[in-house]
Amino acid sequence: MAAAKAVPTSVPVLVTGASSGIGEEFARRFAERGHAVTIVARRAERLEQLAEDLRSRYGATVDVLVADLETARGRNSVAKLLRERSPWVLVNNAGYGTRGRLADLDASRERAEVQLNVVSTHDLSLAVLPGLLRAGAGGIINVASTAAFQSLPYMATYAATKAFILHFTEALAEELRGSGARAMALCPGPVRTEFSEVAGVQDYMELARPMSMSAAKCVSTALRAFDRGTAVCVPGPLNSAATLGPRLAPRVVVRKVTGQIFRPRSG
């Protein structure tokens, strides 16, 4: 099989969670490469501002789709678009994390987290795949996390959703091998975005400062890996090294260590 290379710029890109952070950076980088880009999120004003910036800065064709991917209606609107043409590069980036003892957290928000992080990724992947295979081109980037490599007490739902994304995407990448389409799981460590405030992990971000990086660096690394046809990308050598411990140490040790790290601090 020939070595993978960058997806042709004739293939459009759809990015979910594009209103900030890693999703916004993916939209910028693909627009800079010359792809037509569809940006998806709930925050219409931010999407319109980003679209205008991409058009003026890169001369890009940019479409805005406002959708709440926690809901079936929002997922269906994006899936319909993905099925209307092919192929695409689909970047499933939308997601968030929660922190705390599971019994103390808002159950409705935990369920919504699964809908956004897992069900949305799964539904949109199913919608885009037939077109990728017919065209023998395009691909899927699913944003997981280094959290995917172990359980995280006090971030139980988040780590479990990211484990699903990692395993799902690895399997999909193998199924697509030789088809001309590709799939990659992006597993970033700490990235300096709004995620830390939403998830309440600012203290962890301070602890993990040596491993943290900007969204721009994360996405730059991810795109190089995607161009090569990599199935799993963990940006940064320290983050890559950090994923080895949970795979080598006894699981009881791993969960005790991670439980101490992510246990909410009072005061």
Q: Which residues are catalytic?
A: 158
Decide if 215 contacts 193 (C-beta within 8 A). yes
Q: How far is CA 183 from the centre of its chain?
A: 12
Main-chain phi, psi angles of 261, to 5 degrees: -70, -45
Contact call for residues 215 and 25 (beta carbons, < 8 A): yes
- Point out which residues pair with 231 in neighbouring strands: none
CA angle 118, 113, 191 (to 5 degrees): 85
Length of the chain: 267
DSSP H stretches of helix in 44-192: 44-58, 72-84, 107-114, 120-135, 156-176
- Alpha carbon separation from 197 to 99, 176, 205 (Å, rounded): 11, 36, 10
What is the dihedral sign for C-alpha 37, 147, 220, 179?
negative
Residues 109 and 98: beta-carbon distance below 8 Å: yes
